[in-house]
Amino acid sequence: MSELRHAKSFRDLLVYQKARQLAAEIFRVTKDFPREEMYSLTNQIRRSSRGVGAQIAEAWAKRRYEAHFVAKLTDADGEQQETQHWIETAADCGYLTQSQANDLIEKCAEIGRLLGGMMAKADLFCGTSVTAIREPVTEYFVDGRDN
């Protein structure tokens, strides 16, 4: 697939860069979580935050198929929403201050907005090259006339 004007790889995408920054910040703040949370909350929040960038990278690889591209971006959005849940859980447990939680949730929400924009404009990322695979348009209704 040819390169896009605005990105040569998924690493050039602002949303990917923000997802990496979020994952790094989550890693830093979870270092202070209690040891007994290592294999539960700490692991869950780290996994979901890292999953955002991973799903964006996978979406990039699937640009040839617009529906697959959007599906992987939807998975990335699911990961960022799951991360929001774990952030709120950590705040409920007293492992994060409300200020820390609000800051992290806002970063997740920004990633979600960027992903939503990409999904709405998927054709700009998937291109219109002749090698792009698209499903044919299907007519679902007939006019009832006998042919």
Burial class from Cβ neighbours inside 10 Å (0-12, 13-18, 19+) for residue 2 reads: exposed
Residue 33, domain CATH: 1.20.1440.60
The range of the structural domain enclosing residue 25 comes to 10-126
Is 110 contained in some domain?
yes
Residues 6 or more apart in contact with residue 49 via CB below 8 angstroms: 19, 22, 23, 26, 27, 79, 80, 83
What percent of the chain lies above the pLDDT cut of 70?
82
Burial class from Cβ neighbours inside 10 Å (0-12, 13-18, 19+) for residue 57 reads: middle
Spatial contact of 65 and 125, defined as CB atoms under 8 Å apart? no
Is 139 contained in some domain?
no
Q: Give the span between the Cα atoms of 103 and 114, in whole angstroms.
A: 17
User: What's the whole-number average pLDDT of the chain?
Assistant: 89
Q: What's the whole-model pTM score?
A: 0.82
Residue 30 pLDDT: 97
